[in-house]
Chains A and B, each alone.
Chain A
């Protein structure tokens, strides 16, 4: 044949760029989970009594629960007794007092990941909290944020320094009984980020947490809590990476957002946990519960996620829209290649009058991956004038992958308007040929078309990360068209 396009399967062979291990002395609790382990974690962190009790209650409840199983997600049973629930770089197990105290090996790790922790480096406009295995190792720009009245610190610090806020809000959006993984997280969570914005404060810079799983046979169970008091604004971004390991590692985080009247929270995720190799060996199980409550009138919570990593992703960043005129948004790009399984989507629960929500989901399936969108739009009888618009598109890049769309639309109020549109199609042969005819390489053409497909999501990312997300997408899909 004269002009068959190059066999793109031959281009497969992309390697995970963040797959290195940092050789650092760690304080790691032996694998296994019982009440003593939980007390030990709590003691190591010097927690107040209310938190120990809360953890133990969560653990007892977890023991009564059954692990969820979804139709399109398959994995061997997880042995929860084989996981170590606490691992911290030894030097910093007490938490560094300043960047100068941070182990140079750790600084080098974050440099290598493209997240330099020096305050004058590339991410000059972004405050970063770096979480390494179970603990936060560094938080930048603390002083400048404190000037504005913004609290941005490791969760452990917040427990010590702002116990009243923690006690008031922890578990108020995602109760420990919510689901199996949220209960587990509530029992064993080790660190994460805490953000509080006082009334009327517009956060002077982007906040960011960078999560890194390093130690073998550990799980990561971080907890993030963001409270935006009346009229405040914040944009927060999380990034995630892990070394390449043959075993599967569990990541079961909980993120809770609270937006009071007129507050605005923008939460962006670039998730690039190790996805396993091209044969499906290894990789992170990413079972995450993320939920925000728009409690006050005119508040807004916006989730943007670019999900390219993990062997299995199971997450549905959701919004409960209680305040009148509150707004929930969900913008998602989920890429699944090789043997990855992504099951992601959102829930928009409309409670208040004139609440609005927008869902834009772009799924890309390649290799033998399974990619599912699962979403719920629920309009309660109280939500007069509520509106939702959902656009859900899937792009297929191989004949062995799967792309599934499972929207649930439940409307109990006649003044609501709900619109849902979805398409699934193969990457356009005509579009590819058009680009080739203009001289672009097959890979450039694929990247261009795919990022065009994802554009309406990328434009929601903070500028600093839009480019990173685009590159990540290109790497994840290298050689994916077959």
Chain B
């Protein structure tokens, strides 16, 4: 069997998994179309510029078909911090009402996608549920090929729910393909906290796709915490469109999974729209954690800033690949990217690619990237104050992650993430007393 046929096999097998998904004939057609296009394009390989640093060979040996419905132990969510505010739970991509809150705050509306697919969707919404088909969007195609559930979430114009909304994704083994379509309408403000978990060390492949839109003047703080197990694969795709003066914050914490990649695309379509993206990944053991962002400045006076921190230890690998495009006419665009990476283990590696494409003249854009070990001068300073080397290293590593952790504005989330970050450091026990 040649290499091409091998890489197509798991995809080709998916045709069988497409039967019986919700939505009837019309959606069956679309799912078939998406799979055909995907098979024609093939899964991405490192030869594709956009996938230079992510190798998907792991997928070839995995079962991609959606996981069968199975009972979820009540303890499944125990690992999560307390949640103040409503929670919506998705198990293997399917909405799970039993574990979800029944009451949502006024102005917040949720419909499971499986329910929505059975009805006639408004054309604009239907278009958003449909998939892109460019080479760059193959992960969306994979999701579209197995689209069956997820949800439509709306925060109505002018509403600002006090508590954050929580979305919990649990993968139990096999494929999960949730599709979320989220609208924050004009003038609304919301906070969204997403957790991605796996049940134990199950072999799971989660491909969550989220389509977000922010109306004029809307604001969303979006937090996403990846806690997948040692054999979890997660390929997440988030696309965000902003109308004028809208403001979108995305903060990604990547602490788990065997292979996790986030593709985050933000389109600043309206005058004065702004976005703040940040992320921290800790690629320890043999994890591969990749972040790819693309920000399009399409209107005047738009601004974006990105702060990404990566740590790789043991045989961990990580990458940050960030593209900022300032389109013609997007004058007074302001863009900053900062990518700093810390290598702790002799076999660890990190690739970084902060890119700028500028097609307008009156702009201010900058990026900075560093990769290296802990700063020797800082280390020396701590040693000279009497700390031992392991403690000093752990302290500095934790401080390195601090830039991003400080941006966690949901009170219960911050100690939880701090704790997890500490837990991933080799000598964490030495410094807990310093932190608390």
State the CA gap A72–B354 with chains docked (Å): 17
Q: Knowing A409-B371, A411-B341 are in contact, say whether A422-B354 is a contact too (CB < 8 A).
A: yes
Centre residue among B328, B341, B347, B365 by max chain A CB count within 10 A: B365
Residues of A within 8 A of B363 (CB): 396, 424-426
Query: In chain A, what residue has the closest Cβ to B350?
Result: A411
Pick the contact of A420 from B328, B344, B369 — CB < 8 Å?
A: B369
Among residues of B, the one whose C-beta sits closest to the C-beta of A409 is B352
Contacting residues, chain B, for A416 (C-beta < 8 A): 343, 371-373
Question: Residue B359 at the A interface, CB < 8 A?
Answer: yes
How far is B364's CA from A424's CA once the two chains are assembled, in angstroms? 6
In the complex, the answer to whether A425 meets B364 with C-beta atoms within 8 Å is yes
Contact check, A417 vs B373: say whether CB atoms are below 8 A apart. yes
Q: With a CB–CB cut-off of 8 A, which chain A residues contact B348?
A: 414
Minimal beta-carbon separation of A61 from chain B (angstroms): 20
A72: B residues at CB distance < 8 A: 357
Asked if residues B328 and A399 are in contact (CB atoms below 8 Å), the reply is yes
The answer on a CB contact under 8 Å between A399 and B357 is no
Main secondary structure of the interface of B (DSSP, over half): strand
> Which among A398, A412, A415, A420 is the interface contact of B354 at CB below 8 angstroms?
A420
Tell me the chain A residues, 373-398 only, with Cβ under 8 Å from chain B.
Answer: 381, 394, 396-398
Q: Which residues of A contact B162 (CB under 8 A)?
A: none
> Does B134 make an interface contact (CB < 8 A)?
no
Q: B349 contacts the other chain (Cβ, under 8 Å)?
A: yes
For chain B, residues 339 to 397, give those with C-beta under 8 angstroms from any C-beta of chain A.
Answer: 341, 343-373
Is A456 an interface residue, CB under 8 A from the partner? no
Which A residues lie within 8 Å of B370 (CB)?
417-420
Bound-state CA distance A411–B316 (Å) is: 12
Q: In the bound complex, do residue B345 and residue A405 qualify as a contact, i.e. CB atoms below 8 Å apart?
A: no
Inside 8 A of B373's CB, which chain A residues have their CB? 414-417
Please give the number of chain B residues whose Cβ is less than 8 angstroms from any Cβ of chain A in the complex. Answer: 34
Chain A residues, Cβ within 8 Å of B347: 381
From B349, B355, B364, B365, contact of A411 by CB (8 A): B349
Contacts of A399 in B (CB 8 A): 328, 331, 360-362
> What chain A residues lie within 8 Å of B361 (beta carbons)?
396-401, 426
B356 touches A418 (CB 8 A): no
Residues of A within 8 A of B371 (CB): 409, 411, 416-418
- What A residues does B369 contact at CB under 8 A? 407, 409, 418-421
| B357 and A423 within 8 A (CB) | no
Which single residue of chain A is at the shortest CB-CB distance from B321? A408
0/1 interface trace, chain B 20-44, chain A, CB 8 Å (1 if under)? 0000000000000000000000000
Q: Mark A170-202, 1 if CB is under 8 A from B, else 0.
A: 000000000000000000000000000000000
- The verdict on A402 contacting chain B, using a C-beta distance below 8 Å, is yes
How close is A386's CB to chain B, nearest CB, in angstroms? 10
Q: Does A349 count as interface, using CB distance less than 8 angstroms?
A: no
Contacting residues, chain A, for B356 (C-beta < 8 A)? 394, 403-405, 422, 424
A165 to B214, CA, bound (A): 67
**Chain A contacts for B364, CB-based, 8 A:** 424-425
Query: What mask results when residues 60 to 94 of chain B are scored 1 for a CB within 8 Å of chain A, else 0?
Result: 00000000000000000000000000000000000
Contact indicator A411/B343 (Cβ below 8 Å): yes
B353 touches A411 (CB 8 A): no
- Are A405 and B355 in touch, CB under 8 angstroms? yes
Complex A-B: 9 CB contacts under 8 Å: A396-B363, A397-B361, A403-B356, A404-B356, A407-B355, A409-B352, A409-B371, A414-B348, A417-B371
B interface list, Cβ under 8 A from A: 328, 331, 341, 343-373
Sample of 17 more A-B contacts, CB < 8 Å, known A402-B358, A409-B371: A381-B347, A399-B331, A400-B361, A407-B355, A409-B352, A409-B353, A410-B351, A411-B351, A413-B343, A414-B345, A416-B371, A419-B369, A420-B367, A422-B356, A422-B368, A424-B356, A424-B365
Q: When A and B form their complex, which 10 residue pairs have the shortest distance between CB atoms, in order from nearest?
A: A414-B343, A417-B372, A399-B361, A412-B349, A420-B369, A424-B365, A405-B356, A409-B352, A396-B361, A411-B371
